[in-house]
Amino acid sequence: MKLACQEGLAPGAAFADRAARLESYGFEGVELNGARLLDASGLAERRSVLRDSAIRASSICGGFPCELVHPDPARRRKCVDTVKTLLDIAAELGATGPIAVPIFNSNDRLPDLSPWKSRHELELQLLITVLTELGAHALSVGARLHLEPLNRYESNALQNIEEAAWVVREVGSAGVDVIPDFFHMNIEQEDVPASLRSIAPQIGHIHVADNTRKEPGTGSIDFTAGFAALREVGYDGWLALECRLSGPADEVLPRSVEYLRRCLG
């Protein structure tokens, strides 16, 4: 398994500076911000730096509204089209693909039509339909869309990785997979290693943060057991830091890399 870190966590005014810092900390990859890639100059800067850097593009996260199941068709379409653009960019830069959630908690949600269908049931069926289109596009360009379930405090549209894996199986496309996040799993899964084993075929990417929502090594999550389960099922992809930092990046990120390497064994 390879370690990556979100670009915004590294200090530096230019992307080249941040990439160099991440390499010096011991990371092998960088998780790119979607907003920077949707800007022509930002994309050109990252394309140029990554061409000559030992740091590889791991994935794309954030920087656009995640509204795959928004009740407004126009906003849904805008989200889908943005994800398609990021799939194209991911394929060009050698990243696995963009990360998307169905929708965050807000008042802009589908109605509850019980007893016919609950809001949750409606959102899952709409999500499957939307992901079918995105999965086809992902396959056509050679990338994947990583579907991320969140914890109950951030979204109740999709909360646990087993349900996310069911959605992916219903979509039936290798262009869509699941990204388990250790922070969210710590809240929603009763047994993280067992849950990871149960969805092994659908795992495409991993986010790591401790239960503090800060860098791994600052809390109580058992990363050793989780990584052992991932190794057992043959996962050899990216582990990308998505977190806040407990101190200066130059101090805490190298320390977290060392901690994660120990957990990997």
* pLDDT(36) > 90: yes
Residue 40 lies in a domain: yes
Instruction: Tell which residue, 6, 47, 38, 49, has the closest CA to residue 25.
Output: 6
Residue 62 lies in a domain: yes
- Percentage, residues of the chain above pLDDT 90: 99
Per the structure, the count of domains in the chain is 1
CA atoms within 13 A on the CB side of 159: 13
Residue 119 lies in a domain: yes
Instruction: Return the pLDDT at 198.
Output: 98
Q: Tell me: the pLDDT tens digits for 186-242?
A: 999 999 999 999 999 999 999 999 999 999 999 999 999 999 999 999 999 999 999
Q: How far, in Å, CA of 123 to CA of 76, rounded?
A: 12
Residue ranges making up the domain that contains 59:
2-180+189-208+235-243+252-264
Query: 47: helix, coil or strand?
Result: helix
Mean pLDDT value across residues 29-41:
98
Active site residue 242: yes
Catalytic one among 7, 67, 123, 148? 148
Question: What's the per-residue H, E or C state across 91-127?
Answer: HHHCCCCEEECCECCCCCCCCCECCCECHHHHHHHHH
Active site residue 121: no
Ramachandran sector of residue 98 (left: φ over 0; alpha: ψ -120 to 50; beta: rest): beta
Q: Tell me: the pLDDT tens digits for 143-199?
A: 999 999 999 999 999 999 999 999 999 999 999 999 999 999 999 999 999 999 999
Residue 226 lies in a domain: no
Q: Which CATH number is 97's domain given?
A: 3.20.20.150
Mean pLDDT value across residues 244-254:
98
Q: Tell me: the pLDDT tens digits for 52-101?
A: 999 999 999 999 999 999 999 999 999 999 999 999 999 999 999 999 99
* pLDDT(107) > 90: no
Q: pTM of the full predicted structure?
A: 0.96
CA distance readout (Å), 246 to 152, 159, 242, 243: 24, 26, 13, 10
